[in-house]
Amino acid sequence: MEQILANALGELLTPMTAAYALAAIGLAMHFGFTGLLNFGQAAYMLVGAYAFAMSTLAGLGLVPAILISFAASIVLSFVLGIPTLRLRSDYLAIVTIAAAEILRFIVSTTGLNDVTGGPQGLSGFARDFYSINPFPAGEYGFWAWTMDEKGLWVRVVAWSLVIIAALFVSKMIRSPWGRVIKGIREDEDAVRSLGKNVYSYKMQSLIIGGMLGTLAGIVFVLPRAVQPGNFGTGLTFFIWTILLLGGAATVLGPIIGSMIFWVLLSLTDGLLSAGVDSGVITFITQNQIGGIRFMLVGIGLMLLVIFRPQGIFGNKKELYFNG
C-alpha cells in the first residue's frame, strides 16, 4: 500500500509531469487566454523532440539544438496559422489536429529511417545534456522521491523551465499585450474595431504557446528515447485534460493539473492492480487495468467539467457570466 502511494507521489516531480505542465502552459496561452483552439499541441512537442534529437545527433551543441527546435516551432506556427487565423476558430482546430497526425506519420515512415529513425525513433541524443550534469554520482532525495544524479539533473532543469515559463506567461498576460490577447478571446471584432491587428496578435500567441510546447517536447524526451508513437492525438488530449483540470485561464492551473493528473493515473493503476492481485477485484484482469484507469480519469474529467468547469484554479466569478 505504501508502495502504491510512493509510486503515485513520485509522479509529482517526474520530468514527464514537468513536460506535460509546460505543454499545458503553452496551451493555456493558446486556448485559455487567446481562445485559439489548438488540438495539435502534440505536433509542437514532436517538433521539439525531433528537432532537438536530430540536431544533437548531427553533432550540434545543446544551445544550437534548442534554437533550431524553436525555429522549427515558429515555422510550424506560420504554416498552421497563416491559412487559418483569419478564419473562425474551429478551422484552426481541424488544421492543428490534422497537422499533428501528418507530422507523426512523416517521422515514422521507414523511408526516413536515416533521418528520423522511422518507427524506432531516435536515442542517445541526450549525452551532451547529461555530460554537463553538475551533480556528482550518487543517490538523492528520500522516500517517494529517490533518484540518481541523472534523475536529479533532469528534474532540476525541467522544473526550472516550468517555473520560468509560468512566470513569463503570467507577466505577459498582465501586460497591455495580455489585455489585447484576452480581448481577442472575448470578441475579436471588438478588438479589431479598436485598431488592433488581431491576426498578428493571434499569430504571436500561437508562436509563444507553440514554443512552450516545443520546450515541453524537449523536456519530455530527455530521459527517454524519441518514439513517434508517443506523439499521437492521445498526448494532445491529455494536455487538454490537464489544462481543463487546473483551469484554462490560469498559469498555476496547468502545473497543478499535470501533477494531479499523473498522481491520479498512477494511483488508480496501483490500486486496481493491487485489487486484482489480492482477489478483491475479480471482474477485470491485470491486462485491462491500463484501459480502465483511463476510463476512470475520463469519468473524473466529465464530473469536473460538469461541476467545476472553470477548473481547480479558475476564477469562479468568471463563470457567472457564461452563456
Partner 1 sequence: MANEIAKGKAEPGCAKVDPILVADNVLRQFGGLTAVDVKHVEIPRGQITALIGPNGAGKTTFFNLLTGFDKPNSGTWVFNGKQLAGVPSYKVARLGMVRTFQLTKALSLLTVMENMRLGSQNQKGENPLAAMFRSVWRKQEQLVTETANELLTRFKLDAKKDDFAASLSGGQRKLLEMARALMTKPTMIMLDEPMAGVNPALTQSLLDHIKDLKKEGMTVLFVEHDMHMVRHISDWVIVMAEGKIVAEGPPKEVMKNPAVIDAYLGAHHDSDLGAKKKAGK
Kindly state whether residue 318 participates in binding partner 1, applying the rule CB under 8 A.
Answer: yes
Give me the 183-202 binding string for partner 1, x by CB under 8 A, dash otherwise. Answer: x-xxx-xxxxxxxxxx----
Alpha carbon distances (Å) from 232 to 15, 28, 46, 69: 19, 20, 9, 19
How does DSSP classify residue 29?
I
By CB under 8 A, is residue 88 in contact with partner 1?
Answer: no
DSSP string, 138-190: SEES-GGG-EEHHHHHHHHHHHHHHHHHHHHHHHHHTSHHHHHHHHHHH-HHH
Least distance to partner 1, CB of residue 273, Å: 43
Please report whether residue 2 would count as binding partner 1 according to CB under 8 A: no
Least Cβ distance, residue 243 to partner 1 (angstroms): 17
- Report in angstroms how near the CB of residue 292 gets to partner 1 at its nearest: 38
Round to whole Å and give the CA distance between 231 and 107. 10
Smallest distance, Å, CB 20 to partner 1? 25
Which three cell numbers mark 93? 482546430
Between CA 26 and CA 89 the distance in angstroms is 17
Give residues 204-233 in contact with partner 1 (rule: CB under 8 A): 204, 208
195 dihedral zone (left: phi>0; alpha: psi -120 to 50; beta)? left
Residues, the chain: 323
Nearer of residues 91 and 177 to partner 1, judged by Cβ: 177
In the set 142, 283, 307, 320, which binds partner 1 (CB under 8 A)?
Answer: 320
Binding mask 147-186 for partner 1 (x = CB under 8 A): ---------------------x--xx--xxxxxx-xx-xx
Residues within the interface to partner 1 (CB under 8 A):
168, 171-172, 175-180, 182-183, 185-187, 189-198, 204, 208, 317-318, 320-321
